[in-house]
């Protein structure tokens, strides 16, 4: 199985400051069709997960442009350019290239 | 508006069975792969099962293989998860999630239904 390793586990951030979450996979996530199926999700307290980014760097409709995704192969990053109070929650990466599909363990973003 | 509404959760004894349903609306259900993802209390997300649009391809996590069966009824716009031989470790919120390997991959999630396995 592909292991998805996120860091850090917890990320205290000052409002207005940037934040960065790393996600590393144990195998390359490049699929046979040339795409890399790496998604990022946000889960606010008490809510269902919400997709933010798909295929590494494509932002979903309605997602603020302060969120961006980057990376390739086995190394990926979610960045928040200026953290706002509504960004508090747990962030997960997920790979959709290999069966079984696997999620990272999550990164909890909180305000200092 | 895309909506996914799960139902069928509840309290069940170890070894028991439960059938979850997911009612889909707001999109052409028969054109999309669908998935089940679960989240144990206070824990992270775990993929459970996926089914292609025509049910021709079905996948399971090892943790549920042989006990859970995913199915769909495209005429009723519904996704199902039959859960047998339930264990305490199956206790979780179960989410219905849309999408296969395209831009829809895991793009919409339901609100979830809680399954509690306890004696």
Residue of A nearest to B94 (CA): A48
- CB-based contact B44 A41, cutoff 8 Å: no
Q: Please give the distance of CA A9 from its chain centroid, rounded to a whole number.
A: 12
For all residues of chain A together, what is the average pLDDT? 97
Instruction: Kindly indicate the confidence band of residue B104, based on its pLDDT and cuts at 50, 70 and 90.
Output: confident
Q: Average pLDDT of A74-97?
A: 98
Q: Please give the distance of CA A62 from its chain centroid, rounded to a whole number.
A: 16
Compute how many other C-beta atoms are within 10 angstroms of the C-beta atom of residue A75.
12
Q: Following DSSP, what letter does each residue of A80-102 receive, concatenated? A: ESS--GGG-EEEEEEE-SSSSPE
Of A55, A96, A103, the CB nearest to B45: A103
Of B44, B62, B110, the CB nearest to A48: B110
**Residues B1, A93: Cα–Cα separation, whole Å:** 25
- CB-based contact B59 A37, cutoff 8 Å: no
Of A33, A55, A103, the CB nearest to B47: A103
Residue-level pLDDT at B101: 79
**Residues A80, A63: Cα–Cα separation, whole Å:** 11
Q: Average pLDDT of A67-93?
A: 98
* Residue B7 β-bridge partners: B21
**Residues A57, A60: Cα–Cα separation, whole Å:** 10
pLDDT in tens, A13-71: 999 999 999 999 999 999 999 999 999 999 999 999 999 999 999 999 999 999 999 99
Q: Following DSSP, what letter does each residue of A8-45 receive, concatenated? A: -SEEEE-TTS-EEEEEEESS--B-TTS-B-EEEEEE-T
Q: B107 — contact with chain A (CB < 8 Å)?
A: yes
- A42-56, B8-22, B93-107: which range is least confident on average? B93-107
Residue-level pLDDT at A98: 96
Does residue A9 carry a pLDDT above 90?
yes
Residue-level pLDDT at B103: 77
Phi, psi values for residue A15, rounded to 5°: -55, 135
Residue-level pLDDT at B100: 84
For all residues of chain B together, what is the average pLDDT? 97
Residue of B nearest to A105 (CA): B44
**Residue A69 burial (CB < 10 Å; 0-12/13-18/19+)?**
buried
Whether A14 and A104 have beta carbons less than 8 Å apart is answered as no
Residues in chain A closer than 8 A to B46 (CB atoms): 103
Phi, psi values for residue B31, rounded to 5°: -95, -5
pLDDT in tens, B40-80: 999 999 999 999 999 999 999 999 999 999 999 999 999 99
Residue-level pLDDT at B56: 96
Of B44, B50, B101, the CB nearest to A105: B44
Residue B40 is encoded by which pair of tokens?
């144990």
Residue B52 is encoded by which pair of tokens?
């292609």
Instruction: Kindly indicate the confidence band of residue B15, based on its pLDDT and cuts at 50, 70 and 90.
Output: very high
Q: Average pLDDT of A75-94?
A: 98
Count of A-B CB contacts under 8 Å = 58
Residues in chain B closer than 8 A to A51 (CB atoms): 106-109
Q: Is the peptide bond before A100 cis (omega within 30 degrees of 0)?
A: yes
Residue of A nearest to B100 (CA): A96
């Amino acid at each position: 199985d592909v292991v998805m390793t996120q860091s850090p586990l917890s990320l205290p951030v000052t409002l207005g400051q940037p934040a960065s979450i790393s996600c590393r996979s144990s195998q390359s996530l490049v699929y046979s069709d040339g795409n890399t199926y790496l998604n990022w999700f946000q889960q606010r307290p008490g809510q269902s997960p919400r997709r933010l980014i798909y295929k590494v760097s494509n932002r979903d409709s309605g997602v603020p442009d302060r969120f961006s995704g980057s990376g390739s192969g086995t190394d990926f990053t979610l960045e928040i350019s200026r953290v706002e109070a509504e960004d508090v929650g747990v962030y997960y990466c997920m790979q959709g290239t290999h069966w079984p599909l696997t999620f990272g363990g999550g990164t909890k973003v909180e305000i200092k | 508006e895309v909506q996914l509404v799960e139902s069928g959760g509840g309290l069940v004894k170890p070894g028991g069975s439960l059938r979850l349903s997911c009612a889909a609306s707001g999109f052409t259900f028969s054109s999309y792969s669908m998935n089940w993802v679960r989240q144990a209390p206070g824990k992270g997300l775990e993929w459970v099962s996926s089914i292609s649009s025509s049910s021709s391809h079905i996948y399971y996590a090892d943790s549920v293989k042989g006990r859970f069966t995913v199915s769909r009824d495209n005429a009723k716009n519904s996704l199902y998860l039959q859960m047998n031989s339930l264990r305490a470790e199956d206790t979780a919120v179960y989410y219905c999630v849309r999408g296969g390997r395209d831009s829809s991959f895991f793009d919409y999630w339901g609100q979830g239904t809680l399954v509690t396995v306890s004696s």
